[in-house]
C-alpha cells in the first residue's frame, strides 16, 4: 500500500509540473496583460512596473543568450524558470492586481472558507444522498423510489445558479429567515450549503440506488441470503460495501471541486472563497493568482482521487487484487 501511494505521489508531482507548465504557456500566449486598463499607465511607469515583476524577461527562452551559447542563462533567466523555482519553494509569487500582496496570502484568505463550505456541503450531500439511495434501491419500483427518482432528476437537471437564486429569493429576501450574503455567522452558511449540497445529494442518491440494485442480484449476495442472514445484514455487511465503489469514485473529483470553491455559489452569496480566483485571476491577467488557484485545485484533485482509490480498495476486495497488487509485483521482479 505504501509503495502504491509513493508511486501515486511521484505521478502526481509530474502531473502538477505538467499542469503548471501548460497553464503558464497558455497565459503567456493569451493576449492582453495585467496592466491593460481603462486608464493607461504612463509608458515609463509601465516599464518600471513590468520590470519589477520580471515581466520584461523572456517567457520561456532567452533567444539572444541561446545564440551566444550561454545555455544556462538562456533557460535559467526566463519567467518560466523563475516561476518554477518559486513554485518548488511553495511560493506562488506576487499578485499583479493586488499590489503588495503575495498570491499565497490571497489564496490563503479564501482557501479555508471554500474548504469549510465545500466539506460541510459534501457531508450534507452524503447524509442526504446515501440513505435516500439505499432505501430507494431496497424498495425499487415503489412509491418512495419513484419519488426519489423524480426529485433527484429535477435537482440534477436544474442549474445550480437557478437553485441558489431561488433559495435566496424565497428564504432570504422573501421570508427573511436567512442572511443573504457573506459569512458573518454559521447561519450565513445555510443557504450556500443547501444550494451546494442538493445537486450532489441527488447525484449520490442516484448512484447508490443504481449500484446497490445491481449488487443485490450478484452471486455473493444471493449466497449470503441463502445462508439465512437477515435482509439488513445482507445489505449492510455484504451488498453495500461493493455498491459504494462508484460513489467513492465519483466523490474524489466532486470533493476536490467542492473544497476549492464554486464560482457560481460564491458569487451569488458573496462568499470570500477561492472560487472567484479561477475566473477573476484569468480576467485580470493576475498570472500568479490564476496559476496558484490551478495548482491548488490540481493538488487537491490528485489527493482526493488517491484517497478515493484507497477507499475503493478498502471497500471491495476484488479491487485490491486487481489494481493494487500487480505493479508492485512487476517492480519486485526487476
Partner 1 sequence: MLARRALSALLALAALAAPPWLAARVCDAPAGRGRALVYVSGPEPETLDPALATGLPEVRLLTALFEGLVALDPRTLEPRPAAAEAWDADPDGVTFRLREGLRFGDGSPLAAADFAYAFDRVREPRTGSPWAEAVSGLEWRALDPRTLRIAGPRARGDLLARLTLPCFYPVARGAVEAHGERWTRPGSLVSNGPFRLAAWEINRRIGLERNPHFRAPVGIEAVVALTVDGPSVGFNLYATGAADIVHSVPAALLPDLAGRADLHTGPLLATYFLRMNVGRPPFDDPHARRAFALAIDREAIVRHVTRSGEPVARSLCPPGMGGYEPGGGPAGWFDPAEARRELEASRYGGARGLPEVEYLYEGAANGRIGEVLQDQWLRHLGVRVRLRPMERKVAFATVRAREYQIAWSSWVADYPDAANFLEVFESGSGNNRTGYADPEYDALLERARRAKGDDRLGRLAEAEALLLEAAPIAPIYHYARGVLVSPRVRGFVSNPLNRIDWTALELAPGPAGGARSP
Where does this chain touch partner 1 (CB under 8 A) — which range of 143-151, 181-189, 213-221, 294-302? Answer: 181-189
Tell whether residue 181 is a contact of partner 1 (CB under 8 A).
yes
Where does this chain touch partner 1 (CB under 8 A) — which range of 64-72, 79-87, 175-183, 198-206? Answer: 175-183
Out of 170, 173, 223, 236, point to the residue binding partner 1 (CB under 8 A).
173
Q: Which is nearer to partner 1, 155 or 183 (CB)?
A: 183
Tell whether residue 192 is a contact of partner 1 (CB under 8 A).
no
Tell whether residue 158 is a contact of partner 1 (CB under 8 A).
no
CB of 193 to partner 1, least distance (A): 8
The C-alpha cell at 295 is 495548482
In this structure, the chain runs to a length of 334
CB of 73 to partner 1, least distance (A): 25
Residue owning grid cell 505521478: 11
Nearest CA-CA partner of 54 in 96, 102, 101: 96
Tell whether residue 56 is a contact of partner 1 (CB under 8 A).
no
Nearest CA-CA partner of 290 in 70, 76, 19, 78: 19
CB of 45 to partner 1, least distance (A): 5
Helices (H), 95-239: 103-138, 143-157, 160-167, 186-216, 219-226, 231-233
Of 277-296, binders to partner 1 (CB under 8 A) are 280, 283-285
Nearest CA-CA partner of 110 in 306, 298, 301, 297: 297
Out of 56, 68, 123, 328, point to the residue binding partner 1 (CB under 8 A).
123
Which residues partner with 77 through β-bridges? none
Nearest CA-CA partner of 275 in 264, 283, 285, 284: 264
Residues 51 and 295: their CA atoms lie apart, in Å, by: 25
Cα angle 132, 133, 139; round to 5? 90
Tell whether residue 174 is a contact of partner 1 (CB under 8 A).
no
Binding mask 7-46 for partner 1 (x = CB under 8 A): ------------------------xxxx-xxxxxxxxxx-
Tell whether residue 125 is a contact of partner 1 (CB under 8 A).
no
CB of 202 to partner 1, least distance (A): 20
Where does this chain touch partner 1 (CB under 8 A) — which range of 60-68, 93-101, 143-151, 153-161? Answer: 93-101
Nearest CA-CA partner of 118 in 289, 250, 273: 273
Out of 29, 69, 185, 232, point to the residue binding partner 1 (CB under 8 A).
185
The C-alpha cell at 330 is 512487476
Q: Which DSSP letter does residue 101 get?
A: -
> Contact 181/190 with Cβ under 8 angstroms?
no
Residues 52 and 74: their CA atoms lie apart, in Å, by: 20
Residue owning grid cell 426519489: 148
Out of 2, 69, 72, 100, point to the residue binding partner 1 (CB under 8 A).
100
Out of 3, 6, 18, 52, point to the residue binding partner 1 (CB under 8 A).
52
How many residues line the site for partner 1 (CB under 8 A)? 60
Residues 328 and 167: their CA atoms lie apart, in Å, by: 51
Residues 214 and 243: their CA atoms lie apart, in Å, by: 8
Tell whether residue 180 is a contact of partner 1 (CB under 8 A).
yes
What does the binding site for partner 1 look like in residue numbers (CB under 8 A)?
31-34, 36-45, 47-49, 52, 97-101, 105-106, 109-110, 112-113, 115-117, 119-120, 122-123, 168, 172-173, 176, 179-186, 188-189, 267-270, 272, 276, 280, 283-285
Amino acid at each position: 500500500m505504501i509503495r502504491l501511494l509513493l508511486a501515486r505521489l511521484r505521478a502526481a508531482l509530474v502531473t502538477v509540473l505538467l499542469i503548471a507548465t501548460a497553464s503558464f504557456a497558455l497565459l503567456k500566449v493569451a493576449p492582453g496583460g495585467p496592466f491593460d486598463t481603462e486608464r493607461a499607465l504612463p509608458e515609463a511607469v509601465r516599464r518600471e512596473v513590468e520590470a519589477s515583476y520580471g515581466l520584461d524577461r523572456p517567457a520561456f527562452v532567452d533567444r539572444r543568450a541561446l545564440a551566444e551559447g550561454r545555455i544556462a542563462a538562456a533557460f535559467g533567466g526566463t519567467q518560466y524558470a523563475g516561476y518554477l523555482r518559486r513554485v518548488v519553494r511553495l511560493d506562488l509569487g506576487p499578485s499583479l492586481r493586488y499590489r503588495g500582496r503575495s498570491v499565497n496570502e490571497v489564496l490563503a484568505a479564501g482557501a479555508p472558507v471554500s474548504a469549510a463550505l465545500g466539506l460541510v456541503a459534501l457531508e450534507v450531500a452524503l447524509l442526504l444522498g446515501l440513505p435516500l439511495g439505499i432505501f430507494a434501491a431496497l424498495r425499487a419500483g415503489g412509491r418512495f423510489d419513484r419519488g426519489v427518482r423524480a426529485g433527484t432528476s429535477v435537482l440534477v437537471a436544474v442549474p445550480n445558479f437557478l437553485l441558489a437564486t431561488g433559495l435566496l429569493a424565497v428564504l432570504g429576501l422573501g421570508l427573511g429567515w436567512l442572511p443573504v450574503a457573506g459569512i458573518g455567522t454559521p447561519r450565513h452558511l445555510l443557504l450556500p450549503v443547501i444550494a451546494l449540497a442538493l445537486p450532489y445529494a441527488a447525484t449520490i442518491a442516484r448512484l447508490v440506488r443504481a449500484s446497490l440494485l445491481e449488487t443485490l442480484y450478484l452471486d455473493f449476495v444471493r449466497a449470503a441470503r441463502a445462508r439465512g442472514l437477515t435482509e439488513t445484514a445482507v445489505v449492510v455487511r455484504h451488498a453495500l460495501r461493493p455498491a459504494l465503489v462508484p460513489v467513492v469514485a465519483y466523490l474524489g473529483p466532486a470533493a476536490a471541486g467542492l473544497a476549492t470553491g464554486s464560482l457560481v455559489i460564491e458569487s451569488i452569496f458573496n462568499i470570500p472563497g477561492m472560487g472567484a480566483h479561477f475566473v477573476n485571476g484569468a480576467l485580470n491577467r493576475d498570472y500568479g493568482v490564476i496559476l496558484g488557484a490551478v495548482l491548488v485545485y490540481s493538488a487537491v484533485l490528485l489527493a482526493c482521487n488517491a484517497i478515493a482509490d484507497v477507499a475503493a480498495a478498502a471497500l471491495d476486495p476484488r479491487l485490491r487484487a486487481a489494481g493494487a497488487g500487480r505493479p508492485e509485483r512487476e517492480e519486485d521482479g526487476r
